[in-house]
Structure 1
């Protein structure tokens, strides 16, 4: 079988359909939000699909992932049940967090997906703690493993103090954690140039002795390659590593953000010239992995599946009122 950046043809097609699935899922979520069926905050992953799917190429059984409130895309990339994710968005009993977490606080223990965190950068010390647990178990012969933790944060979160506390401890104890900075350039609405004295965010771990690299987050193959190298670095006992994935979100920070801090021309340029899904589709067609007609067929099938998922979520039961008192306190 011909290989493509160390990936077989089937793997390339799966990566394409996984990215397309996330895109269509998030578009449907945006539509349901506009209809008033999703309440509260809702942060869409549209435009950033290559990061989540590319990083997952390096994940194996036992590895963990944790991220911020822009979590739907990564959770789907980790293999979570899409019906449960959509039902959670709609606050339904069948949701992955029983309708209590909503958009920002999703969880899937079976997939080792540990959130979905609404507090900016809160996931960074938690992800570092999971890595500490993995190393402690390995060093004390409790569970021989080479598991790593993929800890995602944004360009806004990277300026939080707790990030550097986590970096220092991770480096000091050589913890097996990959920090992925999803640099979509605008945080909540302030550009990196206006908020960071050093705009090369992958260098933020240098004072702690953490190796860092920059990667094109709009290029699936670039992310997959960087992910494989970073994972090997951690599994080999070399401690943490930072990847700065330069990416771009097409929508506002959240659904309530009109994104007036950037021009429509800028957004359209990225969509037309750097879209991660269209780029991978063109690669697939050019290399005769699949035809344009086959790619369009994948899209039609995914759209139909997403509609079924939306129907399931809309028709699911609301949580009972007494659920307000469960999972709150444990004696």
Structure 2
């Protein structure tokens, strides 16, 4: 399939933004400037961008505790995100959510979630709304291999099928549920689980943007046109630990270096486009420079923004007591 220069650069820009954002958060967290817990998405960029490239303002996503990449892929403002992670008043959630609860409903980002398996039931509700109101919207739940074992996820498969909801379940299988290998802890296969509920599943190399993009295109179109739920099982990995500070003693000593050398989704993207493609290596280098400058500016804005005040404590709540 031939892709336009604009599409290639836009897709690469979003992936590079996720990578640079996460690398910078990793560096800043080590200085002690960022409060709370942080889980980084670096290494998994092709999945979020490949899926969200097909979504528009009608569509919503729900994320996991590893949500920064999904936010960026769905169009959330990186400066607002950085401020939120820093706990600043100008953040997407006014500095009250932080990394694990970052959200932007105006962009259809229902939120990262500290509850493993918390996203699938939420997207079933959003999909039911879209179906009832006939908006043509699709709801996407990103879930990890660990979250795929949760009862909430399996119940959502059943509910989505029974109600024929416009849902896509994206299982991002990064090989570890925290520190437990998915090959040991996940019974059967993801495709087999989907088949048990009568849901079609496509398995893809999650390092390959184009493979994810093409599989997601068909599954999302099917859901949007009344075909019901689908599953995309993407096999990939994370370049950092489960959380910042994870010693990763469960991974082989050379595992990360080997994966960065051989399974980097940005390098694979550039290699697939090739020197004779519609976008040149120089074009991609220019995007890298542009992204670095944008992330530098986001960090500076976050560092200089004010935190919430005592007067903000009881705002942004649903019920007053």
Provide the C-alpha distance between the structure 2 equivalents of 1:298 and 1:236, rounded to a whole number of angstroms: 35
Q: TM-score when scaled to structure 2?
A: 0.96
Q: Is the 8 A contact 2:8 2:279 kept in 1?
A: no
Provide the C-alpha distance between the structure 2 equivalents of 1:162 and 1:39, rounded to a whole number of angstroms: 29
Aligned pairs (5 A) from 1:157-306: 157-198=147-188, 200-306=189-295
User: Which residue, out of 303, 308, 322, partners 2:297?
Assistant: 308
Provide the C-alpha distance between the structure 2 equivalents of 1:290 and 1:148, rounded to a whole number of angstroms: 31
Provide the C-alpha distance between the structure 2 equivalents of 1:131 and 1:293, rounded to a whole number of angstroms: 42
Provide the C-alpha distance between the structure 1 equivalents of 2:161 and 2:241, rounded to a whole number of angstroms: 34
Tell which deviates more after alignment, 27-36 or 317-326.
Answer: 317-326
Once superposed, what is the RMSD of the aligned Cα atoms? 1.3
User: Which residue, out of 95, 101, 123, partners 1:127?
Assistant: 123
Q: TM-score when scaled to structure 1?
A: 0.93
Aligned position for 1:83: 79
CA shift digits 1:263-287 (9 cap, x unpaired)? 1322222211121101112233433
Offset of residue 235 of structure 1: 1.2
Aligned position for 1:41: 37
Q: Is the 8 A contact 2:275 2:281 kept in 1?
A: no
Q: Structure 1: any 5+ residue segments left out of the alignment?
A: 139-144
Offset of residue 210 of structure 1: 1.1
Offset of residue 30 of structure 1: 0.8
Q: Is the 8 A contact 2:79 2:298 kept in 1?
A: yes
Provide the C-alpha distance between the structure 2 equivalents of 1:137 and 1:303, rounded to a whole number of angstroms: 41
The yes-or-no answer on 1:64 pairing with 2:54 is no
The yes-or-no answer on 1:51 pairing with 2:40 is no
User: Which residue, out of 114, 127, 143, partners 1:153?
Assistant: 143
CA shift digits 1:10-60 (9 cap, x unpaired)? 101111111111100111111111111111110111000000111012112
Provide the C-alpha distance between the structure 2 equivalents of 1:183 and 1:202, rounded to a whole number of angstroms: 12
Aligned position for 1:142: none
Offset of residue 329 of structure 1: 4.2
Q: Which runs of 4+ in 1 moved over 6 A?
A: none
Provide the C-alpha distance between the structure 1 equivalents of 2:242 and 2:196, rounded to a whole number of angstroms: 30
The yes-or-no answer on 1:112 pairing with 2:108 is yes
Provide the C-alpha distance between the structure 1 equivalents of 2:276 and 2:173, rounded to a whole number of angstroms: 30
Q: Structure 2: any 5+ residue segments left out of the alignment?
A: none
Provide the C-alpha distance between the structure 2 equivalents of 1:320 and 1:232, rounded to a whole number of angstroms: 45
Tell which deviates more after alignment, 19-28 or 277-286.
Answer: 277-286
Aligned position for 1:8: 4
Offset of residue 166 of structure 1: 1.0
The count of residues paired between Structure 1 and Structure 2 equals 320
Aligned position for 1:137: 133
Provide the C-alpha distance between the structure 1 equivalents of 2:167 and 2:280, rounded to a whole number of angstroms: 39
Provide the C-alpha distance between the structure 1 equivalents of 2:273 and 2:101, rounded to a whole number of angstroms: 35
